[in-house]
Structure 1
Amino acid sequence: MSTNPRHILVLFGAPSPEHEVSILTGLQVGHALLERHPHVSLGYVDKAGQLWTGDPLWQVKSYTGKSLPSACSQARLRKDPIKGAVLVQERAKRGLFGSIGHEVVLDVAVLAFHGGDGEGGARQGYLESLGIPFVGSGSMSAALAQDKSMARPVLPVQGHKIAFADALTLQEQAWVNNPDGWVKKIAKLGKEVILKPARLGSSIGVERVSTKPADLRNAIERGFQYDDRLVFEELVSPMIEINCSVRKRPDGSYQASACEQPVASEGALSFEDKYMNQSQGKAGTKMGSKAGSFGQKGNLSGPSQEGAKAGMGAGLDGQGMASLKRLLPAPIEDVWTQRIQDAAVTLAEAFQTSGVVRFDFMVKTSKQGALKELYFNECNTIPGSLSFYLWQESGVTFPDLLDEAIEVAKQEMATRIGRQKPFESNLLKQYVGS
């Protein structure tokens, strides 16, 4: 078996309602990495959970048919006692790796999953078990942040001026057992509430719902199509939404990005607001004037990436979450910007995030628009487009953002492996000798 030089593997897709969003983020990350790294592999996890590799994966059109192009090949990850983490091609077809049994020794993986087990900790745990360094939060942090019903009790409140909307969590079986009782409980939150599936993102399944019994019952039935746990929050109104990204630095500290104010077409942000504006010709991202697709000049093709030719990444910087209409930087007073950035760092420390994350906030306003109170909304451990546009506004290019995140990932895995020392005991010998 021949082995190529070490590679960076971009993992994306996987079973999730946010599957297509993940594809866009994965391609954005892949092309940004190619500006500096010649050996970048795309690892696409399809909706059935199968990992694929191949040159056609660099093109968006490859994902729009009923099946992937024939040049794509199934793949798997394994842990080699000598080589370390290895990406193995399962079957021979002309493509990225060429021949049967060709292996790629991995240096690091960059996670671009959104929602589902890709963002919720399961795949992070798998990579941890293989000893593969990966850009992103660890399994525990990812699982906690993904679950809106579980995250609230562990987050800091005292001394940090971060408010949380009053909320209830409804289990599906509890609803089946006592629907009338739950309708009454939820109605106590107000005439209208925000319904959220506990473990979804991208505003999928999120609704502003009347607590009139008939309306509420219908909304609950819709919500359980997405998750078996629903979160109901009091309506914070009037308000504006402010987002802020946070990255972990090599010295273990956290840094906050510029703040943005997303512009919703109507009320709170919807999936369409976040991801469909580009296709409708409404992209509102302030991209800056730096050279290159992601703020850095570089050749999009590499010696092992014939399929990722220059130009195939064109326009990706304005896709996915980057297509959202936004005010960047957010037009708020400096004191509020600093307050939100401080809150984001505090929450990152509480969640123990890694890589690049994004915290979404609501700021309650007066009827005249004056900012009054800061509310935590949610944590995205793998934000759309990895929030590169927020870091560009902060003077950090996408390639720089990724390079530092990779450095942190390697440090964290080295520390983790270094602590895995065997504990010697004579327990089994005692049984043999008895």
Structure 2
Amino acid sequence: MKNIAVIFGGKSGEHEVSLQSAKFIMEMIDKEKHNVVPVGISKDGQWYTGDDVREGLLNKELRGKPISIKLFGKNKGFMVKEEDSWRELDIDLVFPVLHGTYGEDGTLQGMLDLLNIPYVGSGVLGSSVAMDKGMMKEVFKSQGLPVGPYVVFNKYLWDNEQENQVNKMEELGYPLFVKPANLGSSVGISKAKNREQLLAAVEEAFQYDLKLVVEKGLKARELECSVLGNDDLFVSTVGEIVPGNEFYDYNAKYIDDNSEIIIPADLPEGVEGQVQELAKLAFKGLDCLGLSRVDFFFDEDGKVWINEVNTLPGFTSISMYPKLLEASGVTAKDLVKMLIDLALNRHGAMNKLRRDY
């Protein structure tokens, strides 16, 4: 039996969402084939393991045995503290469920590469580029994918060239969506219909990141598509989100129960195939692995626009990623098994590469 560490929580605005996803994934792992090792990270970056570590984080308590990471030396890896000594924690594979910064952005993936531990999902490059919405859109443009109008700027430019940045944003035309460049789950995102709202939205977003992406609001339907695989990709049917709020914000996703999910989406002939093909191109263009949810807009003129790729999408019982695949014939338990197998296969292939010359 393999020991699978499910890592959740973390130093991110998506900490609470991660705890929900982890519960679902740990329930779906086949206990006859694998031992589940819960690993929780507090908001201040402390690592713990134990059966009740997730419940502790939910209750804003620190429970379990402390974990330390030893990156170098003979016995590198996860070390767990028991009484006054540290022992090696035997981990065969990591299933990261750390949405957002310090988990979905390549930082955790780089550490696991140093430890030579296989993990589910994209590597350093795919994770980091997909996490930064500005860089992701640049890659989309270079691949010839349809991207809506946007501008990118950082805190330094805002502090020193505010009027110039406001003019660039207003040239796109209201309404505008202001987003932290490196977060998901709609954390810190606001919709602005005028300059007063725009200035407030920028200040709100800068609480979560030092770099922002501002997009022109399109009159469009919101479509989503799930991708599964490394090289031979399986793409789900296309679903539609009909937000109960003004847009599909954090409350609409996780708190309110007033948004509608339509699977499959009712689309004109040929549109679903177009979305699925664009999802594959985006996945490969960003060098993604394992899993991703790809989000789109379908506007009033019948044009499909790619919005973003999420390399570690929400993984709760109501999340679109597993729901879309389930509607396409892949059960949640089969999905988790396939993701584990994909990670092990990729790691095995990487370990066959020559390390000398």
* TM norm structure 2: 0.91
Give the counterpart of 1:243 among 210, 224, 228: 224
CA 66–200 in structure 1, closer or farther in 2 if over 3 Å, else same = closer
2-structure distance, mates of 1:363, 1:41: 41
* Counterpart mapping for 1:249-260 below 5 A: 249=230, 252-260=231-239
1:85–1:107 Cα contact (<8 Å) kept: no
* Counterpart mapping for 1:15-414 below 5 A: 15-57=11-53, 61-69=55-63, 72-78=64-70, 86-92=77-83, 101-155=86-140, 162-212=145-195, 214-237=196-219, 239-249=220-230, 252-277=231-256, 325-365=260-300, 372-385=302-315, 387-414=321-348
CA 81–403 in structure 1, closer or farther in 2 if over 3 Å, else same = farther
Letter in 2 for 1:273: A
2-structure distance, mates of 1:79, 1:189: 47
CA 34–63 in structure 1, closer or farther in 2 if over 3 Å, else same = farther
Structure scoring higher RCO (CA < 8 A, sep ≥ 6) equals 1
Q: Which residue of 2 aligns with 1:314?
A: none
Deviations 1:14-58 (A, max 9, x none): 100000100111111111004543411111111121211111136
1-structure distance, mates of 2:90, 2:269: 47
2-structure distance, mates of 1:8, 1:85: 17
C-alpha displacement at 1:81, in angstroms? Answer: 8.0
Aligned-pair Cα RMSD in Å: 2.3
C-alpha displacement at 1:202, in angstroms? Answer: 0.6
C-alpha displacement at 1:337, in angstroms? Answer: 1.3
For structure 1, the 5+ residue unaligned runs are 93-98, 283-323, 367-371, 424-434
For structure 2, the 5+ residue unaligned runs are none
Secondary structure at the counterpart of residue 103 of structure 2 = helix
C-alpha displacement at 1:157, in angstroms? Answer: 6.6
2-structure distance, mates of 1:102, 1:222: 44
C-alpha displacement at 1:210, in angstroms? Answer: 2.7
CA 265–406 in structure 1, closer or farther in 2 if over 3 Å, else same = same
2:140–2:146 Cα contact (<8 Å) kept: no
1-structure distance, mates of 2:263, 2:32: 27
C-alpha displacement at 1:422, in angstroms? Answer: 2.7
Q: Which residue of 1 aligns with 2:351?
A: 417
Secondary structure at the counterpart of residue 207 of structure 2 = coil
2-structure distance, mates of 1:350, 1:49: 32
2-structure distance, mates of 1:62, 1:38: 23
2-structure distance, mates of 1:77, 1:325: 43
Q: Which residue of 2 aligns with 1:8?
A: 4
Deviations 1:368-394 (A, max 9, x none): xxxx11111111000001722211111
C-alpha displacement at 1:267, in angstroms? Answer: 2.7
2-structure distance, mates of 1:158, 1:228: 27
1-structure distance, mates of 2:51, 2:327: 32
Letter in 2 for 1:203: S
After alignment, is 117-126 or 30-39 more displaced? 30-39
CA 111–169 in structure 1, closer or farther in 2 if over 3 Å, else same = same
Secondary structure at the counterpart of residue 102 of structure 2 = helix
CA 181–86 in structure 1, closer or farther in 2 if over 3 Å, else same = closer
1:183–1:211 Cα contact (<8 Å) kept: no
Secondary structure at the counterpart of residue 118 of structure 1 = coil
2:19–2:58 Cα contact (<8 Å) kept: no
Deviations 1:113-156 (A, max 9, x none): 10111111101110011100000100111000000111122226
Deviations 1:204-237 (A, max 9, x none): 111111343x333232222211111111111211
Deviations 1:293-338 (A, max 9, x none): xxxxxxxxxxxxxxxxxxxxxxxxxxxxxxx641112122352111
CA 35–335 in structure 1, closer or farther in 2 if over 3 Å, else same = farther
2:292–2:311 Cα contact (<8 Å) kept: yes
Aligned residues: 353
CA 420–118 in structure 1, closer or farther in 2 if over 3 Å, else same = farther
2-structure distance, mates of 1:55, 1:405: 23
Letter in 2 for 1:116: T
1:85–1:132 Cα contact (<8 Å) kept: no
Secondary structure at the counterpart of residue 55 of structure 1 = coil
C-alpha displacement at 1:62, in angstroms? Answer: 2.9
